[in-house]
Amino acid sequence: DTAVSQTPKYLVTQMGNDKSIKCEQNLGHDTMYWYKQDSKKFLKIMFSYNNKELIINETVPNRFSPKSPDKAHLNLHINSLELGDSAVYFCASSQASGDTQYFGPGTRLTVL
Amino acid sequence: AQSVSQHNHHVILSEAASLELGCNYSYGGTVNLFWYVQYPGQHLQLLLKYFSGDPLVKGIKGFEAEFIKSKFSFNLRKPSVQWSDTAEYFCAFGNTGGFKTIFGAGTRLFVKA
């Protein structure tokens, strides 16, 4: 059983398009996150949600809109994609803030 | 500002060599400390963690780390590396209630067979 799953695994799209990435965790965790990992492997927090409520938005452009329909899901919608959005996006979850995080397999987004 | 500094960006070792990766954090309060590993093409997974108690913690695959509070450090060690340890290693800290875990920039370890 996959603990944290993401779809799709790969996403290739043109500039200006809108795309979504889905994330689901079956661990019963309260807190979920989105991270962006650039080509140099630097991992940057984008959003943190606790019990479906947005807790942290790390100055991410408002083209990025997370949505948490329930505690087990945190989806990421991106409008008007730009070349600089190309990266690997990881979803993660933890039982509580500051606790061990469990990462999804990542979504490699390529914007052409 | 809260931050994590990893001393080495790239490390190349031969099999059986000893490993030590440096990590220092900047935060004035109580922290939970982590080392995560990312094998090529895979997602991050927990290697070991320190929340409280014995400052010397042991993780999977023979790794250990020591928390030295006075130095704000949490260095990762392994006495004898294997080719399969080739990966990216991330030091991180979180604080309960802070809803954010701060990651270091990562250290890429390459082990020559």
Nearest to A32 by CA among A83, A101, A79: A101
Q: pLDDT per residue over B53-103, tens digit each?
A: 999 999 999 999 999 999 999 999 999 999 999 999 999 998 766 667 889
The tokens describing B27, both together, are 């935060």
Q: What does residue A48 show for φ and ψ, rounded to 5 degrees? A: -135, 135
Counting residues of chain A whose pLDDT is more than 90, the rounded percentage is: 77
Beta strands in chain B (DSSP E): 3-6, 10-14, 19-21, 23-26, 32-38, 45-50, 56-58, 64-68, 73-78, 87-94, 101-103, 107-112
**Are the C-beta atoms of residues B88 and B77 closer than 8 Å to each other?**
no
| Residue to test with chain A: of B101, B108, B110, most A Cβ within 10 A | B101
Whether residues B101 and A101 touch (CB distance < 8 A) is answered with yes
Q: Give the max Cα distance, chain A.
A: 38
Span B20-61, pLDDT tens digits: 999 999 887 888 999 999 999 898 999 999 999 999 999 999
What backbone phi and psi angles, to 5 degrees, belong to A68?
A: -120, 95
Q: Per-residue pLDDT for A17 more than 80?
A: yes
Tokens of B45: 């997974």
The 3-state DSSP class for residue A101 equals coil
- Nearby residues of B52 by Cβ (< 8 Å), 6 or more positions away: none
Which letter does DSSP use for residue A62 in this model? T
Q: A96-112: per-residue pLDDT in tens? A: 878 899 999 999 999 99
Least Cα distance to B85 among B60, B106, B104 occurs for B60
Res. A37 pLDDT band, cuts 50 70 90 = very high
Distance, in Å, from the CA atom of A50 to the CA atom of A2, rounded to the nearest integer, reads 21
Round to the nearest angstrom and report the end-to-end CA distance of chain B. 40
Q: How far is CA A79 from the centre of its chain?
A: 14
Residue A40 has pLDDT above 90, yes or no: no
The strand pairing partners of A110, in sequence order, are A12
Please answer yes or no on whether A105 and B94 come within 8 Å at the CB atom: no
Chain-chain contact of A99 with B108 (C-beta, under 8 angstroms):
no
Which residue in chain A has the smallest CA separation from B107? A41
- Residue A43 CA to residue A38 CA, distance in Å, equals 7
Cross-chain residue pair B105–A42, CB shorter than 8 Å? yes
Cis peptide before A8 (omega within 30 of 0): yes
Residue B43 in contact with partner chain A when CB distance is under 8 A: yes
